[in-house]
Each structure stands twice: as C-alpha cells, then as structure tokens.
Chain A
Amino acid sequence: MLSAADIATLWLTFKVASLATLIMLLLGTPLAWWLARTRSRFKGICNALVALPLVLPPTVLGFYLLVMLGPKGPIGQLTNELGLGTLPFTFPGLVVASVFYSLPFVVQPLQTSFAAIGRQPLEAAATLRAGPLDTFFNVVLPLTKPGFMTAAILGFAHTVGEFGVVLMVGGNIPDRTRVVSVQIYNHVEALEYDQAHWLAGCLLLFSFTVLLVLYSALKTHPVAHQLK
C-alpha cells in the first residue's frame, strides 16, 4: 500500500507539474506564435533549442542545469546577486528544470495549431477592425482549443513522468524535492519492489487515463484533423 511518504511525493509531484504547466503555457504561447508566423533566420535555431530536451538524455540536461544554476554557473551567480539564492535542490529549482525539460511538449502542439489557422481568419478579423488581443481571444483561441488542451496535458503528464532531470537538479531530498518518480527509484534501490509496484501502478494508471481522455476529446473535436 501507499505510505504517508509516498503520498507526500504524489502531492509534491502534482504541485511541481501544475506550476510548471502554467508557466509553460504563459511562455510557450507567445513563443509558439512567433515560431508559427516568423520568417526570421533565427527560426531554425529557436526550433532546435526548444526541441533539444526531446533528444538529450535527461541526465545530461540535468547536469547542465545543475552547473548553470549552481553557485559557480552564470544563472546561479545572477540569482545569488538578486538575493534569491541558488535554485538547485529547492522547489522553485524543480519547477524551473521541469519547464526547460517539458517545454517542447507545450510549444510544438501550439505551434502546429497556430500554423494550421492560416492567414484568412486573421485578415478577416483585421478587416473588421479587431485589435490583436481581440483577435487572439475571439478568433485564435477558439480555433486552437485542441492545441492548447494537448499542450497542457502533455506538458503536465511529461513533467509528472520525468526522472533524470529532477534527480540531478533536485537531489532526492525528502519533503522538498522528492517527487514520485524519485520515490519509485528509492523503493527499487531498497529492493522494496511491492511499494515500487504500487507507486508505479498509480503512475501507469494516471498516464494511461490522461492520454485516453486526451485522444478521445481530440477525436470528437471538429478541428482535430488539422493537428495530424
């Protein structure tokens, strides 16, 4: 069965994933919009940078984040100067690392759905004198709802499932940075396979349900085919 420590890790995981998803949607929306519209020569570089976590082994990404955010790294020195302390081994550090790690899962579906709208609806809105914000909330948002759903759900689910990055940047510290995937690792290391199975079962059920709901919802939505 799940112990109190296991449940604490589930709760911490939920908090990290929710906060990271929120930040990724806020950062990812303008970024995806720009990537979908721009003809800048930096588009390729930006696309590659965003997609990097898909390819890099998580421990490599985790190590670089650890060095960059640590007291000797450029970002760590900046946060120290600002009186924030350094980020690794703290809850905010976990959130920042998760944002980097899961960002492609948010940006890519958004970028695809922004590109799928085409120019006509935006030009039509402009001829009706709709401002950019008005256009975004009343034209773009309703047309790209499935894209946002996919982005939010994949971003959240991927953050819940991450291991290598959070182990490196978080340090497996009880109550502070020990998320559910790290707790499973602890159980396996202690050869407590029963407890590991319970937690892993929860994750499996969660991931399957999330994906099932996502794909069922997308199937019934009229714009869904544009995403394929």
Chain B
Amino acid sequence: MKKFIRSLKEIVQYPAAMIGSIVIVFLIILSVVTVIVLPRQEAIRLWRGGDDTWQTSPKNAKPIWLNWFRREDLPKTIVVSTEDENVQRKVEIVDEEKSLKDIKYELTFDYPYQKFPQEISIFFDNKFENKSPYISATWITPDGREIKLTDFTADENHVYRFGLDSKLSRRVGGLDPHIGVFAKPDTDPPVALPGEYTLQITGLVFEENADVDAELVVYGQVHGLGGTDHRRRGIIIALLWGTPIALSFGLLAALGTTITTMIIAAFGVWYGGWVDELIQRITEIRLILPVLPILIMVGTFYSRSIWTMLGVLILLNIFGSSIKTYRAVFLQEKEAGYIEAAQAYGASNIRIIFRYLIPRIIPLMIPSLVVLIPSFVFLEASLAVLGLGDPTLPTWGKVMFDAQDNGALIEGNYYWILEPAFLLMFTGFAFAMVGFSLDRIFNPKLRGM
C-alpha cells in the first residue's frame, strides 16, 4: 500500500499528469457544486420545462460570453415588470359609481445596443371577476416618438407578441415590429437607436377589485452562460448536470467492468480446465457481438434509463477483450513460487485469487481503468446523440442530440454543439493524460519509450 502511495506521489514529476489531474479535480468540484446548488429534482424540472418555466428566455440565443469577443454587443434579454419596485402604479378613477378605473404604468428601460432583439412580448396578469379589462399600450422611443402598439380586451393571462401584430408592422413602416420599434427613423438597413425606452400601459378596469399587471420581455440574442435551445431552456443546466452524470457513469462503468473482468480472469486461470475454457469461449463469442446495436435494441424496446444502460454496458463488457490480457498475466503469475508456497501453507483458492493473484495486477489495471473512464463517457454521449439518452436527465449527449435535431450547425448555432463537445474532449483529454502518465509510473518498462 505504501509503495502504491509512493508511486502515486511520483505523478508530480509528470506535467501532463498534473494538468490532467487539475482538470479532473476541477470537473469533480464542478460536479459537487452543481449537485448541491441545483438539486437533481430541480434540474429535471427545469429541463423538462413547461412553457412558463422558460417564458422569459429567448429561443436559440447564443451564450452571453460571445459578447466578449465582439465589437458590437448583441442585446441581452431585458425584462421589466409592473411589479418591479421602481415602477409607479397610477390609478385614475373614471366613474366611481360604475367602479371604472384607469390603471396606468410606465415601464422604462435602457437599451444600449445597436442590434435588434430577437422578439418582444408582453405577458399580462389580469385579475377580474366578470368583465375583462380593456388595455392599451404605447411605445415611446428615446427621441420622443410615440408608437401606438395595440388595444384590446384582455383575458386573464394574455400574451401580446409584437411579432404577430401585422397592424403594428404597418405602423412602423413595414418592418418586423420588434425591429421597427427600436429602429432609428429612415435608416436602411435599419439600425437600432440606443437610449431609454418607455412602454405605457393603460388598463381600464370595470370592477372594484380588478387589477392589471404586465411584464415586458425584450428577448436578446444572447442569453445565459450556455445559450438557450429551441425550447428556450438554458443549455448551462445540461452542461452543469452533464458533468456529474458523465463522470459517475464513466467511473462506474469502468470500475464495474475492470474489476469484474479481472476477477473472472483470475478465477478462470486459477481453476483452469473447463472453467477457463468456458470463460474463453464466452469471451470469444462476446467479442463478435456488436455492442452498439444491442444497446440500441435495449433502449428501443426496454428502457432508456441511464442505469439500465450502465448495467447492460457492464454486462457486455465483463467478457471483453481485457480478459485475454489479464489472463496472459495471470497465467504467468500462477507459476510464481509464492503461489506454490501459499498453497503449501494452506491458503484457500479464494485467498490465493484475491490476496496473491489480483494484487500483482493492480498496477497494470489502474492506468487502463483511468483511460477507460472517458471511453464510457463518450459511449454514453454517443447513445444520447443516437436518441437513446435517459429521457429525464440533462446530459451533454442530449444537448448534442437536440442541436443536431434542430439543425444547429446549418443555422449557425455553433455554440449548441461545441459546448458539450468541448466538455467531452476536455474530460477525455484529462483522463488520458493522467492514465498514460500512471502507466509510465506503474510500468517502469515504458519509461524508456
């Protein structure tokens, strides 16, 4: 054991291993923080996301850090609500007997961008019993122009989308409404006018307790640290939650297969005869079985749960080609003098396998185990890309699947595919660096090469 720890300390001498370890530690910390800050149920709820969960996020918006690399910032999402503290609510009584009241708001916000937002919506939250309120809205630009948006009798949860209002489009000179309301007059192509904009909302209510509330959302072209997808969800959630899932899946699969494979190989070699024969034949049959089609069949007909996949994957890999490698080493070791001595002083078969055969092979096993982890991470992502990801969990592979499904690359949403791909490569790179260095530490014969 001490020798083992001493070997591990040697890792400091390999810069590659140090970089790899730092990355792995970073990924582990990220996983732990994610799981603590964003509990699993919460993440699943957000990822499943009904319409209102993400209604203030734009669709397919790029990540905000993209602005760091641009000369002109892309607009971020601006949300102003009548419930904000600095918004004044004015009530003018029109007719006391009939309980007629005007409720007026002025929603003011600063728009510093030259570019146009993606879309604009107003979400109303009205309270009334029988008679719906009558609402009118006016848009005031920084240069003082007043653009009448609309007036209508509103339902309880009315959503007014600028883009769907063709009359407004005509009023702003035939431009798309969300461009027209921000455009400088007489520019072609249109340029946005930065400055302070105001949205005036007047709600005429007909009942004593009736009320009008509204929320203006100016959807930006960048949103969140990870951008958003076609369902307005923040990709960052899948990127963050994908980390613990990927790491634990990779680690469990690698540990599960390596340890069982090693034990089976040891049993086969120690008992020999038909046990060994049987293990050899099963391995050979398993080696010609195609893993991916089997996983696809399991996913299609049985369950796509990540635990089912993990189990099937471990089962399929137990009799993998590494049995042959381990067997070769064990066969050599079986003839060692200390095994004979152990038999002579009465060590049982099980004791010989676990105390004498297996410890010798552990140095050989650890590097391959470390290198094996990312390959299972990749496999999990591949399954998700093929549409066989766990339906509930947000993972890196799922993000790539959605991206591919929605033509991310064709539409220029590179971030959508590159972010999870980068994390996958980052993980693979880190484990590979550590694994190869460990190989050199534990198998000194490789050092000269």
Co-assembled chains A and B: no
Binding site for B on A (CB under 8 A): none
Q: Which residues of B contact A (CB under 8 A)?
A: none
